Amino acid sequence: MPGSFAAAGRRAELVAWYRGHGRDLPWRRRTDAYAVLVSEFMCQQTTVAAVIPYFERWMAAFPTVRALAEADEESVLGLWQGLGYYSRARNLHRAARAVVERHGGEVPDDWDALRALPGVGEYTAGAVVAFAFDRPAPVVDANVARVLARWMDLREPVDSTAGRVALREAARALQPEGAGAREINSAVMELGALVCKPRAPLCLACPVRGGCRATEPELLPVKRPRAAVTEVTERRAFVVDTAGLHLLRSTGRWRGMWILPETAAGGEIAHVERYPITRYRVRMEVVRQSPAEWSGLRAFGWDEVPSIPIPSPHRRAIEALVAKGRAVHREGHDEV
DNA sequence: AACACGGGGTC
DNA sequence: GACCCAGTGTT
């Protein structure tokens, strides 16, 4: 059949390459399903290099499903602080509790049962089946999508319905009959990370270049056009007294984390922090206010601030304002 | 099908 | 600056 995907015939070369060149990542040293689940949650939309230190700290703090299930949300968010996409932390926490309640504390080996856990989508369910239990499952992350799109010369956007279907079927065709899913799926991912890179793919070093149909691999994968960036401005209060820094427990975007409260007050802008968030570009203007103008805030001593969960842009603004405060103090004129 | 959701790295 | 990343949930 013209256009059929013949990657299955290249499994041996791919796995041989992986055995020689695959990286020694912390979660590849273990196959217990809980460790796989944690690493997969952390790796969602996040680079491997950023995840490694978080993974090590997490596994030390919460070594088992039960340990995580019994933890409180504050410490869970604290360990996740700085990784972004905090709903992953809340979902992983809920997933651990669901595993205890529904499955007696054992992470299930069944795709549908996995998929039913909070925060577990098609990708993560497949990853746990393959990496923890070494059973066949399509595992399509951004690396695999890029490798397969080039391999098949797929011109359909990989984030369209048609593109996703094509990729899932190709990934399915790549699976071995019995054992070996762990290695083959790891190998395709690793090929994407090390050789079949987003820009400037190293085709001369590719173990499957003989089977690749891409004529212009650097132009693949095709993606749907992205939404335009919108500028937004918000104003927040920096509230400090002798008790320390007064923060608000967020109920919105950064639910459960501690943030600078939004304010309508005018006055001098003490600091401007700019940060991107998905399709927005936020200009955060910070003004100094006194606790008398607020209720519902909680004061933290300055020694506590480093260890509580605060989203990165807010933490950066706080650090900048503290530095400015110190500078004023040094100059000796505290007419702030 | 489109959008919200973070933060850090790369070129 | 633009683009990318071991995606998922909601609308």
CATH number of the domain within which A60 lies: 1.10.340.30
**Protein residue closest to B5, using CA and C1':** A85
**Protein residue closest to C9, using CA and C1':** A119
CATH number, domain containing residue A236: 3.90.79.10
pLDDT, residue A335, reads 45
User: Is strand B in 7 Å reach of the CB of A47?
Assistant: yes
Average pLDDT of the segment spanning A192-217: 95
Average pLDDT of the segment spanning A118-127: 98
Q: State how far the alpha carbon of A305 is from the alpha carbons of A201, A244, A246, A272, A326, in Å.
A: 44, 9, 10, 20, 17
In the annotation, is A122 catalytic?
no
Give the total number of structural domains in chain A. 2
Do both A205 and A261 map to the same domain?
no
Domain extent, residue A104, equals 7-219
Q: What's the mean per-residue pLDDT of chain A?
A: 94
Per the residue annotation, which of A13, A40, A101, A331 is the catalytic one? A40
Do both A52 and A185 map to the same domain?
yes
pLDDT, residue A165, reads 96
Of A219, A254, A277, which one is at a domain's C-terminal end?
A219
Q: Is A283 part of any domain?
A: yes
Scan residues 92-151 of chain A and list those with Cβ within 7 Å of strand B: none
Q: State how far the alpha carbon of A39 is from the alpha carbons of A172, A207, A314, in Å.
A: 22, 27, 26
Q: What is the pLDDT of residues A275-297, one digit of tens each?
A: 999 999 999 999 999 999 999 99
A279 CA from B1 C1′ (Å): 17
Average pLDDT of the segment spanning A101-130: 98
pLDDT, residue A141, reads 98
Do both A27 and A175 map to the same domain?
yes
* Gap between the Cα atoms of A58 and A35, Å rounded: 10
Q: Band the pLDDT of A336: cuts 50, 70, 90.
A: very low
Nucleotides of C under 7 A from a protein CB: 2-9
In which region does residue A332 sit, left (phi positive, over 0), alpha (psi from -120 to 50) or beta (all else)?
A: left
Q: What is the pLDDT of residues A220-276, one digit of tens each?
A: 999 999 889 999 999 999 999 999 999 999 998 899 999 999 999 889 999 999 999
Of A219, A242, A269, which one is at a domain's C-terminal end?
A219
**Contact (Cβ atoms closer than 8 angstroms) between residue A229 and residue A281:** yes
Q: Band the pLDDT of A2: cuts 50, 70, 90.
A: very low
Q: Is A1 part of any domain?
A: no
The two structure tokens encoding residue A30: 């273990």
pLDDT, residue A324, reads 84
Q: With pLDDT > 70 as the criterion, what percentage of chain A qualifies? A: 97
Q: With pLDDT > 90 as the criterion, what percentage of chain A qualifies? A: 90
Q: Is A97 part of any domain?
A: yes
**Residue A49 predicted with pLDDT over 80:** yes
